[in-house]
Structure 1
């Protein structure tokens, strides 16, 4: 084993080493400062991140594993982001969380790290940080909640919120019953039980090779999650002793495997921006087009909400991610490694499907080609994405009249106006919601439908925006339009009444307006007035440096790994 990184703080008889040891001793034996790896547990537990509120229990199991393997476990509370609470959107602080975690890992005497993440932005932020510092690292996903039921029916958290709230607006469900379902929605600790962004990113961490294989999707209350957490603590010590760093696991081949997994599970569109950002921290050559090229023809095998019927507890019972990956083994890179030191594909031999209604065999998929589709055209020259598995098949080729909203506030003010000129063939266009414009690219792309159309029985329309949408959401929703309106994109030039052409099979998104006419147009003053213009703090730094969605919406000065070296010593 090479000299431990922590030895730079603790070795020797000089005053600095004395200070470091004395303040950290607190009952630790002398051996703690010689040859025992110090393992940080980057813990995103917070009562204000309810999906991660059980992480202190997980951290205890990790600690036991670290200590049993001869390491020194160190709880390191880090910035936590709860998707359901923070305003204006958790995505605004993903990069800040990643940057702060990176700096704490670099600044402290730690040799390796166990990353505890659950709610949507926590796993991406942790992986971005670990990739930037590149010390040995492994993820423990916090796991989905158990399935809640209301009036005898299972509830998919997130997905059923969108569905039931639209039924209230349509007049087919009473507000009283809707509110009664509230106490049934969240049955236990854990993150969303649909294939939303939290579940997706846990699966992405495993497909990337950054978890003990078989961990992702283990329900949060399941005792086996604590067993895996203990084993992960042991593994973290081995990673340090063997010198396995994220850069040896997170290769281009690993990212391509993750894209295959994303398509096969019907994962969230948010995984696109997160995977691009993680790859950017490593200098891995990954582009938006890779998602279409690699994932477009991968069959959808998992029948989970929002693309299907079941929930994460069912996926785990049916065989989990490894059973899914075994069905598409021929599409995976055989050399892509994992934190165990063995290739991902070697962990698939014993995987089996135990319920073929939840995980479909390769020969009987839900959809033949369900990967994220990347659209281009004059409306999205740098790309936009859509999730065909969650869309209405009849709308995947569509031409309609644009109904434009200049901001979220404008949408809320006018959507249900009886005088709004809109019908089921219209295309709802929302702008000013990209990384710079809002700021933070909120999950508002799955715009609610106009009340008068809901009353007519309409349940889906083509919707286009520079925003994101929750991984729990569904519909024919085009997202991540790049460049966004606030960055000078053509989206800012669309006017109500313009013909919009969506052709998902042809990968096109066009504004059918003469180029000469477009060149004469200027952006909407109302939209420009609504763009974010922060004068101080993180929001100003973010708006000045955030890249577009096709680059992962990271900050431009954070691209590339900075390594684990501290630039200056103290004392």
Structure 2
């Protein structure tokens, strides 16, 4: 982390704006001075952009103004010039129809904001689910020195003497209300008990998963993934990240020098070991596509399916992110995995990942297990294929019911979310615990945006009998905080003529997770007949961004990025037009 090999000031990108003694240089410096910027900030020091997703409409990121101030202090201490700028913020909790619809839009905002401005390096302030991949995707397309600072998880929820976790406990308590086991009044009381501090979900949902995975990719300082949002050490990490990005600029340590094939293979393995979200698949594929690293859905099978689940956290286990940090966080997981991960992968510290995590201790072997005593021996995402999902579907075995991992059942088909909500609690619905719930038309184009509705609530009449899990299949996503035997991301999706559109209520579906098989049990002749008769309904975009989305989004097995955004376009920009 030394400041050796400093470049001459004119070599910094920002010198194109602030260096010249001509009319344009005058204009650029003068306007910055109206904010009280002293002349010495234009003496050739690196300009560090702080990309902030703060918003009161994104509660997970509501404390980012404070974090940004700590980053700024670090930048100034290291001799840099910090400039904070906003981009669109994605809050999974409030944004409709789904935050995933706007992930690519935010990545465009980030990319163009970085490229168009006098920025030499960037600090990405990420929190709620889609903000992390969106910001990393945008930065990867520019390929400047970049470091990630996550906002951190909330403190553990506390309700009636027990810990409760965001999302996971919500889903469980909601089903208990529907089953008559929990009163609506108690359900309401739990709201404030669950979300009792700043920060994102404290379960191993998508936000915590992606915070851990940017650490596993080498894009953050050690312990970024788990420090609670309100722990003073989160602010310290922000300060140190501000200091480090200045050195990264002087070393020209760009994203493309950190991220390579080993980085993504490590992230896949870590995602399995921590019981991470299925959403990580789409996001890692998209990030890899931006930086130019080959990555496919099959890689998640090859590098993650045999990795043991070591972290005993909801929704796959018992504990929460606060406990994870106190137990040692991601460095302890890295150490426990040993040779399973590649310690030679690079990182933003300038050291290898192995060096970053050398000597890390585990302080609670109940929370972070060893490979000899795992929560589950094989926990990685399992890729399923068959005549329903020729381009793949996925399931998270660590969150599923073992008895349902090999299952044959009668399909109960729902045409989208409205139909599901209308019929699922109908006493006349012909469904039992062996049935398989199928929902289609909720993919990237079908909804649009691929919402987190794959974890369909069970029929009330089955909940009242004590049933708590069934096989569920859809072309939607699932919240990282959710659980159950749930098949997701069926590709190609039904809205573009994928075979999921051919399933009829009463059909027998076979699921065999170990064999990676998802099969509609009808004859080839019947399958061909249905295909020939099926008509794809034309899309009716409303114009604006939704039209752009529908015209250009790739399917989930390709990362759900826009076709025209894949690849790194670099940081070069046209000359000043003034």
TM-score, normalization by structure 1: 0.98
Structure 1 position 113, deviation (Å)? 0.5
Aligned equivalents of 1:272 and 1:568: distance in 2?
38
Deviations 1:224-258 (A, max 9, x none): 01111000000010010000011111111100000
Q: For the structure 1 residues 488 and 446, does the alpha-carbon distance in structure 2 shift closer, same or farther, using more than 3 Å as the test? A: same
Structure 1 position 25, deviation (Å)? 2.3
Aligned equivalents of 1:467 and 1:86: distance in 2?
17
- 1:335-484 maps to which residues of 2 (within 5 A)? 335-484=344-493
2:564 partner SS? helix
Partner of residue 15, structure 1? 23
Partner of residue 4, structure 2? none
1:75 partner SS? strand
Does residue 173 (structure 1) correspond to residue 194 (structure 2)? The answer is no
Deviations 1:525-570 (A, max 9, x none): 9x966x8621300011001100000011000000001100114532
Asked if structure 2 preserves the Cα contact closer than 8 Å seen for 1:438 and 1:532, the reply is: no
Partner of residue 577, structure 2? 570
- 1:8-407 maps to which residues of 2 (within 5 A)? 8-26=16-34, 27-407=36-416
1:557 partner SS? coil
1:452 partner SS? helix
Partner of residue 550, structure 1? 557
Q: Unmatched 5+ residue regions in structure 1?
A: none
Q: For the structure 1 residues 524 and 553, does the alpha-carbon distance in structure 2 shift closer, same or farther, using more than 3 Å as the test? A: farther
Deviations 1:160-200 (A, max 9, x none): 11000001111111111111111211010000010000000
Aligned equivalents of 2:459 and 2:362: distance in 1?
42
Asked if structure 2 preserves the Cα contact closer than 8 Å seen for 1:45 and 1:54, the reply is: yes
Aligned equivalents of 1:15 and 1:438: distance in 2?
51
2:385 partner SS? strand
Q: For the structure 1 residues 348 and 401, does the alpha-carbon distance in structure 2 shift closer, same or farther, using more than 3 Å as the test? A: same
Asked if structure 2 preserves the Cα contact closer than 8 Å seen for 1:492 and 1:524, the reply is: no
Aligned equivalents of 1:204 and 1:524: distance in 2?
44
Count of equivalent residues: 569
Does residue 537 (structure 1) correspond to residue 539 (structure 2)? The answer is no
Aligned equivalents of 1:370 and 1:415: distance in 2?
30
1:116 partner SS? strand
2:390 partner SS? strand
Aligned equivalents of 1:155 and 1:193: distance in 2?
9
Asked if structure 2 preserves the Cα contact closer than 8 Å seen for 1:134 and 1:564, the reply is: yes
Partner of residue 3, structure 2? none
1:201 partner SS? helix
- Deviates most, 60-69 or 32-41: 32-41
